[in-house]
Structure 1
């Protein structure tokens, strides 16, 4: 589904991602893990075209994303839920959802009904401003906005950050449901190990901008956790 090959990225003269190569298999949830500041969000921003690359390739199906403008990537079927949600606080819930519709390949201008089936609270609050929602409701809105484009790949950057436990559990259930029912491929940036183990099929661990380990979730043992994930 998504293949990254020898990717290098810099902030000025600071080398932040080092010859990074990793594969995200189709139909699976891969958890990108690591301590704060190791390059997880930078990698997601590179996939979405929000940060420039120095070198390397990002292959999504038949498209090399490395030189593709950011505004064209959603149209290929990549949904992105950024860290911090980044909804539009002064727009209504419905207006936030409609923002993604122009990226749909079928040009539909109708919010899919299944969005409101997944997140009934969004249906109840269609006219309420996004900034008036709770943190958990805003996260549901951000995920709904990404799903509106009918993605094949869904990227979620720290979706459980600052969210109450019952909503965290619900989000995990929804991720698995989307994969099983819609065949979505998911990249999940996550630091909560129990959540990652429950939701993920695979893991990829970053440290100081380098890939240190990857594999199926059952291969994420205590030694790797101690070396790269504990604070």
Structure 2
């Protein structure tokens, strides 16, 4: 479904992504792991077109998106929940969700009922400003906003960062439900290993801008954790 071929990215003189090759199959739930500063967020932003590729190709659902805008990638079916959530704090929950409708391929202009089914708190607080929500509620809003687009794949950059434990559990359950019941592919960046093990079926480990290991989540052993993930 999503294929990255020889992706390279630089910031100044630093080689941030070094010849990244990665494929995410339809229906996969993959966790991207690695210590801070190894290039995980840059890779996600590169997939979304927020930073232009220096070299390489991005193909999604049979389309070459290497030079497509962020908006074009969203319309193609890539949903993105950025690190830090980036909701509009002065707009209501409902207004935040409605803004995302402009990117739908089918021109639907009504918030899908599924969003409120997945996150009932958003319906309860739909007239409250985004900035007045708790961190966990804001993360649910950010995920809901991405789902409004009816994506084929959902990218999430550290969705549990700074979130209270009960909301972390809810987010994990929602991701598994979306994946198992609807077949939505998911690629998430995560630092919490227990959450990654609970949610994802496969892992990808990055170190110094390169992919060092991939596999089924059950094969993520102590040796790999010690070499690439332990701080």
Give the TM-score, by structure 1 length: 0.99
What is aligned with 2:175? 175
Question: How many correspondences in the alignment?
Answer: 231
Is residue 2:65 matched to residue 1:65? Answer: yes
- Deviation track 1:126-158 (CA, whole Å, cap 9, x = no partner) reads 110000000000000000000000000000100
Q: Does 1:30 align with 2:30?
A: yes
Residue 223 in structure 1 maps to residue 213 in structure 2: no
Matched, 1:134 2:128: no
Q: Which runs of 4+ in 1 moved over 6 A?
A: none
Q: Which residue of 1 aligns with 2:164?
A: 164
Match runs of 1:172-211 below 5 Å: 172-211=172-211
Q: Which residue of 1 aligns with 2:18?
A: 18
Q: Distance in 2 between matches of 1:137 and 1:7?
A: 34
Q: CA deviation at 1:64?
A: 1.4
Deviation at 1:13, TM superposition (A): 2.1
| Unpaired runs of at least 5, structure 2 | none
Structure 1: tracts of 5 or more residues without a match = none
Secondary structure of the 1:218 match is: helix
Quote the offset at 1:215 in angstroms: 0.9
1:25 and 1:152 map into 2 onto residues whose CA distance is: 11
5 Å matches for 1:39-188? 39-188=39-188
TM norm structure 2: 0.99
Deviation of 1:70 (Å): 1.5
Which stretch has the larger CA shift, 157-166 or 8-17?
Answer: 8-17
SS of the aligned residue for 1:67 comes to coil
| Mapped partners of 2:64, 2:202: distance in 1 | 23
- CA drift at 1:9: 0.4
Q: Secondary structure at the match of 2:66?
A: helix
Alpha-carbon shift at residue 65 of structure 1 (Å)? 1.5
Secondary structure of 2:227's counterpart equals: helix
Measure the CA separation in 2 of the matches of 1:223 and 1:87.
38
